[in-house]
Amino acid sequence: MPLRFALTAGEPAGIGPDLSLLLSQQAQSHVLICIAAHSLLAERAALLKLSVDLIQVTPADWPSTPAPVGALYVWDTPLAAPCTPGILDARNGAYVLTTLTRAAEGCLKGDFAGMITAPVHKGVINEAGIAFSGHTEFLADLTQTEQVVMLLATEGLRVGLVTTHLPLRDVADAVTADTLTRVARILDHDLKHKFGIEQPRILACGLNPHAGEGGHLGREEIEIIEPTLASLRQEGLNLIGPLPADTLFTPKHLEHADAVLAMYHDQGLTVLKFLGFGRAVNVTLGLPIIRTSVDHGTALDLAGTGNIDSGSLHVALTTAYQMAESQQRATKG
* High-pLDDT (> 90) share of the chain, %: 89
pLDDT tens-digit readout, 13-33: 999 999 999 999 999 999 999
Q: What is the pLDDT of residue 296?
A: 87
The highest-level CATH class for domain 1-145+287-333 is alpha beta
Q: What is the pLDDT of residue 243?
A: 97
303 pLDDT above the threshold of 80: yes
In this chain, the answer to whether the domains covering 1-145+287-333 and 147-285 adopt an identical fold is yes
Q: How confident is the model at residue 277 (pLDDT cuts 50, 70, 90)?
A: confident
For the chain, helix (H) and strand (E) counts, in that order, are 13, 12
165 pLDDT above the threshold of 90: no
Q: What is the mean pLDDT of residues 161-175?
A: 94
Q: What is the pLDDT of residue 333?
A: 62
Distance, in Å, from the CA atom of 235 to the CA atom of 182, rounded to the nearest integer, reads 13
Alpha-carbon torsion 242, 246, 251, 252, what sign? Answer: negative
Mean pLDDT estimate for the chain = 94
Q: Where are the domains of the chain?
A: 1-145+287-333, 147-285
Burial class (CB in 10 A: 0-12, 13-18, 19+), 129: exposed
Question: Omega into 68 within 30° of 0, i.e. cis?
Answer: no
Q: How confident is the model at residue 242 (pLDDT cuts 50, 70, 90)?
A: very high
- Of residues 224 and 331, which shows the higher confidence score? 224
330 pLDDT above the threshold of 80: no
Nearest one of 26, 29, 8, 25 to 17, comparing CA atoms: 8
pLDDT tens-digit readout, 175-224: 999 999 999 999 999 999 999 999 999 999 999 999 999 999 999 999 99
Q: How far is CA 95 from CA 38, 62, 128, in A?
A: 13, 22, 11
Q: How confident is the model at residue 49 (pLDDT cuts 50, 70, 90)?
A: very high
Q: What is the mean pLDDT of residues 232-257?
A: 95
Q: What is the mean pLDDT of residues 141-151?
A: 94
**Torsion of the alpha carbons at 223, 226, 228 and 232, rounded to the nearest 10:** -170
Q: What is the pLDDT of residue 267?
A: 96
133 pLDDT above the threshold of 90: no
Phi, psi of 147 (to 5 degrees): -130, 125
Amino acid at 170: D
Distance, in Å, from the CA atom of 41 to the CA atom of 34, rounded to the nearest integer, reads 10
The domain made up of 147-285 is a member of CATH 3.20.20.70: no
- Of residues 257 and 277, which shows the higher confidence score? 257
H-helix or E-strand spanning residue 302: none
Q: How confident is the model at residue 45 (pLDDT cuts 50, 70, 90)?
A: very high
Beta-strand ranges (E) seen in 83-224 are 114-117, 149-154, 157-161, 201-205
Amino acid at 224: I
pTM above the 0.85 mark?
yes
Distance, in Å, from the CA atom of 185 to the CA atom of 309, rounded to the nearest integer, reads 35
Q: What is the pLDDT of residue 302?
A: 95
Alpha-carbon torsion 116, 121, 126, 131, what sign? Answer: positive
Nearest one of 74, 108, 165, 121 to 290, comparing CA atoms: 108
The strand pair at 259-262 and 4-8 is best described as unpaired
Q: What is the pLDDT of residue 191?
A: 96
Q: What is the pLDDT of residue 14?
A: 97
Q: In what order do the strands lie in the sheet with 114-117?
A: 53-56, 71-76, 31-36, 4-8, 114-117, 291-294, 281-285, 149-154, 157-161, 259-262, 201-205, 238-243
Distance, in Å, from the CA atom of 178 to the CA atom of 182, rounded to the nearest integer, reads 6
